[in-house]
Amino acid sequence: MKRCLYRAEWPEGRKAAAFFRSREISVPLTEAMERLNVDHLSLFACSGQLFLYYECAESPVPPETLLPGASEQLTVWPGGERGRRWAPLTDIFHYQHPVSAQHWERRSPEGKPYGRLAILKPEEAASYVYYHYQYQEERPGDGDKYGIIGLHENVLFFYAEQPATREPAPYEGKLKTSLRPDNWAEVMEPHFIKWEGAPAGQELWQPLMLVLEVRSFAGKLGTRDA
C-alpha cells in the first residue's frame, strides 16, 4: 500500500469547496478511485493552498489521474516535471506504516480525517526530521495509527483521523535507542515559524478546512461534505 501526500495552489478568488464538491469533479473522482483501487481520499484547504491525502492499494496513482478536471485549474508548480500542478510531500514521520490490508483496515465507520499545517524555520528542517525519525523508530504506535507528517520545502502537512486509533504497532522500530526527549513540546517549539494572530493553542499548527472526503464502505465509494 502507498500513502500519498500532495500540495497544490488554488487560483485566487475562486472557492475550492464548491468546485471540488460539484458533480463534475466528485463523480469522476469516485469512479476513478474505484477503478484504480484508491481509498480514503481527503482534500484540505487553507488560504489558496490545497493538501491532498489518499491511499493506493496497488501501484501509486498520480493525482492528475484522479482529478484531471481539477488539476487543469491549478497553478503550475515549478520544479519536477514541466507543467506539474501537484507537488508531492515527503513522508518524514508516521506513527505506524501499513503492513497488510487487514492491519490497515478502519474499524470505526465514524472516523473523520483532519489536517494541520505548520511552517518550519528553514535552518531547523534537518533537526526536525532527525528528531522525528528517532521518535518514529523508537516508539512505533505511540499515537494515532493513521497519523503522518509530510514535508515540502519548509511546509509541514499533518494528516490524522479522529477519534484517534491507538493500538500497538505489529512490528518493531529500526532503532533500539531511547533518545526521544521527554520534554517533546519544549524541544519542538524552536523549530517553527509561529502563525501571527493565531488563537491560543494554534500558534504552531493551524487547522485546515476539510473540503472533500471520499472513502469506501464495503466496496462502495461515497462523499461526505465537510
**How far apart are the C-alpha atoms of 157 and 48, rounded to whole Å?**
15
**How far apart are the C-alpha atoms of 140 and 73, rounded to whole Å?**
39
Output the CA–CA distances (angstroms, integers) from residue 104 to 55, 56, 126, 158, 212, in the order listed: 10, 12, 30, 18, 21
Kindly give, in sequence order, each residue whose CB lies less than 8 Å from that of residue 107, ignoring residues fewer than 6 positions away: 165
Those residues of the chain that have pLDDT short of 70 are 13-14, 217-226
**How far apart are the C-alpha atoms of 74 and 54, rounded to whole Å?**
19
Question: Cα angle vertex 32, ends 30, 35, to 5°?
Answer: 110
Q: What is the pLDDT of residue 215?
A: 87
Domain 2-225 bears CATH identifier 3.30.70:
yes
Q: What is the pLDDT of residue 217?
A: 53
Q: What is the pLDDT of residue 84?
A: 87
Q: What is the pLDDT of residue 127?
A: 98
Cell numbers found for residue 208? 485546515
Cell numbers found for residue 185? 513540546
Question: Cα angle vertex 28, ends 23, 31, to 5°?
Answer: 125
| In the chain, where the domains are located | 2-225
What are the pLDDT digits (tens) for 146-176?
999 999 999 999 999 999 999 999 999 999 9
